[in-house]
């Protein structure tokens, strides 16, 4: 063959070989809304690191924190469309896809993170992982953040103190009912808008974990934080079922193994960070941390108790009973 043709031919061949080599590397875009220095942020980074070590050249993970790519509402649509492959929204944000996850939002249902772990690790929790399969999503793991606290621009000691205040909530009808039960006004809002909302007075308060209150600086724009531990923030690591089932079996198995390892680390970080970030907030002295007495907590419990009855039909009485059994 004429040299004139051989060189371009080799170039084309080389190019197509490198394209097909590249095409073999599976890209997992992992999008989330919190800071990198949170249990979920660290978990996503560790997942990326372990995948790059153990599945080098086969799978690459890219992590997008801080709502850089999508907020939680948009990320589920993006996941359905295949624009991202993994996310870990709070279980409070799946109401459009299943009402069953409302169990995680019931006020004062889980006594502490141990009860929560007992529930997610038990039969009911395992079954709930598949509650959104019919919508094209697969739940891969639960990741812990921790117990939620109540913050506001005035001290919140009893439910009467919350009356008339505007609280930011995640997009959950159960959480809306929780605040309505104390005559407050719930406002569904993206996580990325909360700081601004608090600063400008669009909202008076919010509920979140110590690590989110600290890393997103909510404590700088709130007067008080009541240590209410009234609810939990738990995530569902979620993927697109078609994408996941389409992976080569050995790769899927390795990814599942890595996720198990990461999940254990996330739990440890969540517990550590809850204490450490609470201490940092207390030390900063910008928002006063209020501890509530048992009698005060009982008032909140009683005021919010009707929320359980309101949602037991769509959540399932058996699921609530399984959670209650974990409080022992």
For residue 29, the minimal CB distance to ligand LMR (Å) is 17
Instruction: State the minimum distance, in angstroms, from the CB of residue 293 to ligand LMR.
Output: 27
CB of 7 to ligand LMR, least distance (A): 54
DSSP state of 60: E
- Distance of alpha carbon 214 from the chain centroid: 16
* 3-class SS of residue 295: helix
Quick one: DSSP state of residue 327?
T
The string of DSSP codes covering 276-327 is HHHHHHHHH-SSEEEEPPHHHHHHHHHHHTHHHHHHHHHH-HHHHHHHHHTT
**Which residues here bind ligand LMR, judged by CB under 6 A?**
33-34, 90, 145, 170, 191, 208, 212, 233
Question: How far is residue 193's CA from residue 207's CA, in Å, rounded to a whole number?
Answer: 14
CA 167 to chain centre: 19
Smaller CB distance to ligand LMR: residue 110 or 191? 191
Q: 308: closest CA among 98, 148, 110?
A: 110
CB closer to ligand LMR, 208 vs 240: 208
Which CB sits closer to ligand LMR, 191 or 214? 191
Q: Which is nearer to ligand LMR, 113 or 145 (CB)?
A: 145
Q: For ligand LMR, which is the closer residue by CB, 145 or 267?
A: 145
Q: Angle at which helices 306-315 and 173-180 pack, to 10 degrees? A: 160
Closest separation in Å from C-beta 138 to ligand LMR = 19
In the complex, the smallest distance separating the C-beta of residue 152 from ligand LMR, rounded to whole angstroms, is 16
CB nearer to ligand LMR: give 26 or 231: 231
Smallest gap from residue 245 Cβ to ligand LMR (A): 26
In angstroms, the CA 271 to CA 154 distance is 28
CB-based contact 210:278 (threshold 8 Å): yes
Strands 59-64 and 26-31 come out as parallel
């Amino acid at each position: 063959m004429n040299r004139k043709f051989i060189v371009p031919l080799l170039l084309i061949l080389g190019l197509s070989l490198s394209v097909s080599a590249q095409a073999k590397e599976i890209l997992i875009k992992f999008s989330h809304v919190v800071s990198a220095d949170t249990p979920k942020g660290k978990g996503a980074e560790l997942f990326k690191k372990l995948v790059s070590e153990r599945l080098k050249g086969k799978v690459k993970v890219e992590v997008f924190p801080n709502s850089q790519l999508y907020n939680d509402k948009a990320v589920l649509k993006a996941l359905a469309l295949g624009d991202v492959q993994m996310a870990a929204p709070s279980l409070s944000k799946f109401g459009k896809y299943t009402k069953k996850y409302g169990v995680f939002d019931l006020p004062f249902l889980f006594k502490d993170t141990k009860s929560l772990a007992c529930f997610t690790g038990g039969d009911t929790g395992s079954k709930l992982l598949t509650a959104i399969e019919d919508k094209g999503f697969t739940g891969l793991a639960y990741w812990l953040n921790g117990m939620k606290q109540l913050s506001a621009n005035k001290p919140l000691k009893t439910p009467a103190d919350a009356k008339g205040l505007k609280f930011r909530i995640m997009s959950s009808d159960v959480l809306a009912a929780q605040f309505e039960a104390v005559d407050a006004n719930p406002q569904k809002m993206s996580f990325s808008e909360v700081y601004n909302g608090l600063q400008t007075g669009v909202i008076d308060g919010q509920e979140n974990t110590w690590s989110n209150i600290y890393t997103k600086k909510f404590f700088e724009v709130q007067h008080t934080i009541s240590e209410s531990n009234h609810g939990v923030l738990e995530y569902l690591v979620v993927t697109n079922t078609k994408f996941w089932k389409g992976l080569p079996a050995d790769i899927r198995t390795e990814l599942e193994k890595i996720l198990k390892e990461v999940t254990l680390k996330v739990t440890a970080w969540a517990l550590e960070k809850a204490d450490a970030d609470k201490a940092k907030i207390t030390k900063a002295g910008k928002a006063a941390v209020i501890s509530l007495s048992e009698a005060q907590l009982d008032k909140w419990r009683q005021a919010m108790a009707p929320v359980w009855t309101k949602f037991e039909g769509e959540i399932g009485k058996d699921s609530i009973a399984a959670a209650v059994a974990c409080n022992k």
